Every structure is written in structure tokens, then in C-alpha cells.
Amino acid sequence: MNLVIDIGNTKTKLAVFQGNKIIFKSSGDLQLLLKDCISLKAKFKTIDKTIISSVGNLNEQILVAIEKLFKVLILDSNTKLPFQNNYKTPKTLGVDRLALVSASVKQYPKRNVLIIDAGTCITYDFINAENRYLGGAISPGIRLRYRSLNNLTANLPLLDTKVPENIIGNSSIESIHSGVINGVLMEIKGAVQQYENKFEDLTVILTGGDADFLSKRLKSSIFANSNFLLEGLNFILEFNKK
């Protein structure tokens, strides 16, 4: 069994894998990570190895304590990966993006794949059919857009995410919803179209916290998979056992 730990900008996710199958998954606060790991150690006594992916701040003391529980692989730019990384600045490439690309290699080998991760940020990552990662893009996610309109203006309110009733907002509130949600949808559709124009037989994966919300409003040829990053981390861990 493998334990996968994904420390994101807002949440910490844990998953226990039996082979390629997730048999346990949870999401919580970073402060509870060590307690959660101790509980999983007691519940799943055959956990062999653990991989940690962190884009947030992982306390060194917590890491040392986890390393006493499991054999730990910390994902970073020096980790052996199942693809050729052609990014010009590999040390600045987020470990979450490395995991997403690895998942695409496992599930869609020798394909042109665009992975869209809709979370705090929206990231676009492209790997070609020759197994070369070329890069992508980063833009603000849905909640960041709502917050920036509130934080950087004098009078615009902070709103909860809502599907706009009309493309034409007839109030400030409806205009914000239209601008944020339709802006994100049009951005994603436009990005996919650009990649489709350049690369044949493109496979598009949508993942991240807003994947379910967005997938209902995007064309069906985009595959939604909320566990894609976790599956990529598990594949990296297995790849490094060899």
C-alpha cells in the first residue's frame, strides 16, 4: 500500500492506494496532518511508502515525525519522473504540475494531452505524444477572481460562486458573476481551441477543486477527473520504487 499526501494552497489531501486503486481518501487542515498520518498508520498497517507533494508550507518538525512513521519520498525538481521535462526553469515548476503530467503519462501514454487544473490557480500543462513536457500557463482561479475584485476595488463586494443567469449582468452583482464565471469558461474553451489547432488528437483532462462545477458547462469531450493529481503522485512513487 502507498500513502499519498498532497499539501495544496488551501487543503491537505491524503489517499491510500492498493495498487492503482484508491481505497481511502480524506481532505483536511494542514495542522491535523500528523494526527491523520498516525491514524492511517494504525488503520492500514501494510502501508509501504509515502510520497509528499507540497506547494504550501510543510513544518519541518511534522515532516520529521512523518518520516518516523513511513518511508517518505519528497517530490521536488530532482525526483525521477516518467517523462522528459523540457521546461526551461524546472526548479520553479510546481510539484503539483509534475504529478498531473505524470498521471497523464500513466493513463494516456503516447498521446498529446492538455491537463487543466482548476483550483486556487488554473494551470494548463501540455505533454506531447513523444513524452516530452513542454510547459503551459497559469491564471487566477475562480475564487481568486472574486477576491481580487473585492480586494483591489473600493466598492465591489466579495461574492460566493454562482452561475450567472445571463451573459448581460443587469446589476453589479450579476455583472461580477457574469465576468468571473463566463470569463473562466471562455478562457478554458479558448485555450483548448488553440491547442487543438496546433496538435492533432488532443486529449483534454480537467481536474482540481472546481472541475465538477466547470465540467457541467464545458463540452463533453473534456474528461473530468478529480483524483488525477493523487493518481499521478502514486504513479511517481511506484516509478521511483524501480
Is residue 213 within 8 A of residue 226, CB to CB? The reply is: no
Bridge partners of residue 126, in order along the sequence: 114, 135
Q: Which residue's entry shows cell 481580487?
A: 148
Alpha helix (H) ranges present in the chain? Answer: 33-43, 60-69, 95-107, 142-151, 172-177, 183-198, 211-215, 228-239
Could you confirm whether 36 is annotated as catalytic? no
Q: Which of 74, 135, 141, 129 is nearest to 100 (CA)?
A: 135
Euclidean distance between CA atoms 64 and 116, whole angstroms: 33
Q: Which of 73, 98, 76 is nearest to 87 (CA)?
A: 98
Euclidean distance between CA atoms 221 and 211, whole angstroms: 14
Which of 6, 29, 36, 96 is catalytic? The answer is: 96
CA-to-CA separations, 206 to 59, 155, 189, 221, in angstroms, rounded: 30, 34, 12, 10
Euclidean distance between CA atoms 15 and 31, whole angstroms: 17
Cα of first residue to Cα of last residue in the chain, in angstroms, is: 15
Bridge partners of residue 139, in order along the sequence: 122
Q: Which active-site residues does the annotation give?
A: 96
